[in-house]
Amino acid sequence: MNGIKGEGKTKFFPRSFKIGGQICTVTAFLAVLSSCSFAPTPIPKSKDYDLNLKSQEWKSIDPDSSDHAFENSSTHSIMLVNSQCEKYESSSLDKLNSGMMSGIDNLQVINKESTKFASRDALLMQAKGSLDGVPVFLKTLTLRKDRCLYDLVLIANSQDTLKKDDSAFEELLKGFSP
């Protein structure tokens, strides 16, 4: 996949996908991720970023309310890219990241650190919890640039799978340019 631009669209509809052979509805998590409170006016998406993911294992799938979504055909992990502009300019990255995770039950933060990404302050977090009773393991990067908020997320079905797919998440980060 080469040179994807932000698409500036928002869609609201449920979808299911497999995590480790189990069907898991992710509508709630995607709604929280996109912070779309099902308001009549969609939150504007960024059209000003580049995304380059070259891995053959990761296939583009329907992103629902996110900008982009990819699934690993062998591990069934999911990576999401989401943008929102103008709504969360004054909120802290920690508060924004916590809000994104509010759809995850029994959330346990494994690691959270402030970092720099694209010359901006960013928050990198690893966590685990459950979604509709199904265990999920997450790695997220949250940053703000030019009045837009960006979330990049890796969702896996086990800690081992998260570790296995971490190199692809790092590749996604390297190929993301807001």
Percent of the chain with pLDDT over 70: 74
Mean pLDDT for the stretch of residues 21-44: 47
Query: In angstroms, how far is CA 135 from the centroid of its own chain?
Result: 17
pLDDT score for 89 = 63
pLDDT score for 159 = 95
Architecture of domain 4-177: 3-Layer(aba) Sandwich (3.40)
Q: Phi and psi (nearest 5°) for 38?
A: 55, 35
Question: Which residue stretches of the chain are H helix?
Answer: 27-33, 93-100, 159-174
Q: Is 153 left (phi over 0), alpha (psi -120 to 50) or beta?
A: beta
Per-domain residue ranges of the chain:
4-177
Rounded CA-CA distance 15/17 in Å is: 7
Whether the full predicted model's pTM is greater than 0.85, yes or no, is no
Give the residues across from 4 on adjacent strands: 51
52-73 per-position pLDDT tens digit: 888 889 999 999 888 999 999 9
Does the structure show a pLDDT above 80 at 21?
no
